[in-house]
Amino acid sequence: MRTSFLILFGVVCALVSAKSYSHDRSRLVDSDSGIFGPDYKKILSQMQGWRDSYPEITQLLDYGKSVQGRPLRMMIVGKPGWQLDAWFERPALIITGSTHGNEYLNIEDRLPAEILKLSATRSAVQEYIEAGGVYLFVPILNPDGYDNRARENANGVDLNRDWDVDVAQFKGFKQIETRALATKLGSLRETMGLQYRASVDYHCCVGAVLYPWSYTSNPLPGTDLQAHLSLAKLAKELLNIDYGTTGEILGYYPVGTTKDYYYSEYGTAAFTYEGRYGSENQYLGKHVEWWEKISDKINKHELRMTRLP
Ligand SMILES: [Zn+2]
């Protein structure tokens, strides 16, 4: 009696542990990063802290509210007071994270502080800012998803499938988080004369850097492909990760991604950075080096794209 009870107990335990194992597997398939950050309020107060420490080159901009009413906030690092002249446009680099709210890497929310530190020392970052360059940070693009530890926004929509891609005849921007950011980027382009040169949207967990197109297997035009490859190869050298298009690396062709939007709308060298599960946060220094090298390429006019100088 006692023995059969123990056997039954053992079988139940085995079933329960198998179930929790398969649950963990599904979390991996959903590409949960395995890296946990502070709640969004803490991230907002960190951003305020950077603004207070570097007021002369830092602005915070709230560009809307999420579905659940959280502020959508970006930080702009660059020299203020540049007049917009017809002949001068300011290069801008876009760094975003947690478009998928459960793919936080703890890189996207520490890069701003590192860039600010470099702005105060002799570096490619300082040179870039002195020449009028701008860094635009949105550490948490999907704050409801982030606080709820969910891939989608509070309407249950995948925000990396909600960007306009005209060339694919795809209409996005059904969600406030994507629409408000795209509207703000469009207006900053006009008011500050920003020219979006490169963008990275931080995700998890493939261990690769992805470039356009994501919606089709058609390759980019030669010049643009070379520009993307030059930045992707830098990432490979520094971070020891793979690179390719979404289709080449993942075998599917999603429409409505951030990188297809930035590339098709602005001619930007646009990437999805897919960090490594549970460990990408160890490589902050390498990510900083990557951004230094990207800034340096722009300083030296070495990042040529078809639609940009
Ligand atoms: Zn993702």
Q: pLDDT tens across 25-53, in order?
A: 333 445 589 998 999 999 999 999 999 99
CA of 54 to the centre of ligand 1 (A): 31
* Average pLDDT value for residue range 108-119: 98
The gap between the terminal CA atoms of the chain, to the nearest Å, is: 82
Q: What separation in Å is there between the alpha carbon of 15 and the centre of ligand 1?
A: 31
pLDDT at 284: 98
C-alpha to C-alpha distance for 164 and 158, rounded to whole angstroms: 14
Strand extents, DSSP E, the chain: 58-65, 71-77, 90-97, 134-138, 194-204, 208-211, 242-245, 269-275
How close is the Cα of 162 to the center of ligand 1, in Å?
Answer: 13
Cα pseudo-dihedral 129, 130, 131, 135, rounded to 10: 10
pLDDT of residue 76: 97
CA 206 to ligand 1 center in whole angstroms: 9
Burial of 39 (0-12, 13-18, 19+ CB in 10 A): exposed
pLDDT in tens, 81-90: 765 554 568 9
- Predicted pLDDT at 31: 59
Contact 257/170 with Cβ under 8 angstroms? no
C-alpha 8 to ligand 1 mean position (Å): 42
Whole-number Å distance, alpha carbon 3 to ligand 1 midpoint, is 49
Quote the CA–CA distance of 112 and 122 in Å, as a whole number.
17
Asked if residue 152 has pLDDT above 90, the reply is yes
Per the prediction, the chain carries an average pLDDT of: 90
* pLDDT band, very low/low/confident/very high, at 4 (cuts 50, 70, 90): low
CA 279–ligand 1 middle distance (angstroms): 16
| Cα 290 to ligand 1 centre (Å) | 20
222-272 pLDDT tens trace: 999 999 999 999 999 999 999 999 999 999 999 999 999 999 999 999 999
What distance in angstroms lies between residue 107's CA and the mean position of ligand 1's atoms? 14
> Range with the lowest mean pLDDT among 14-28, 147-161, 203-217, 251-265?
14-28
Q: With bands split at pLDDT 50, 70 and 90, how would you rate the model's confidence at 80? A: confident
Distance 272 CA to ligand 1 centre (A): 8
The Å distance, Cα 307 to ligand 1 centre, comes to 28
Distance 1 CA to ligand 1 centre (A): 52
- Residue pLDDT, tens place only, 117-131: 999 999 999 999 999
Q: Please determine, for residue 11, whether its predicted confidence score (pLDDT) is greater than 90.
A: no
Spacing, Cα 100 to ligand 1 middle (Å): 5
191 Cα: distance to centroid of ligand 1 (angstroms): 31
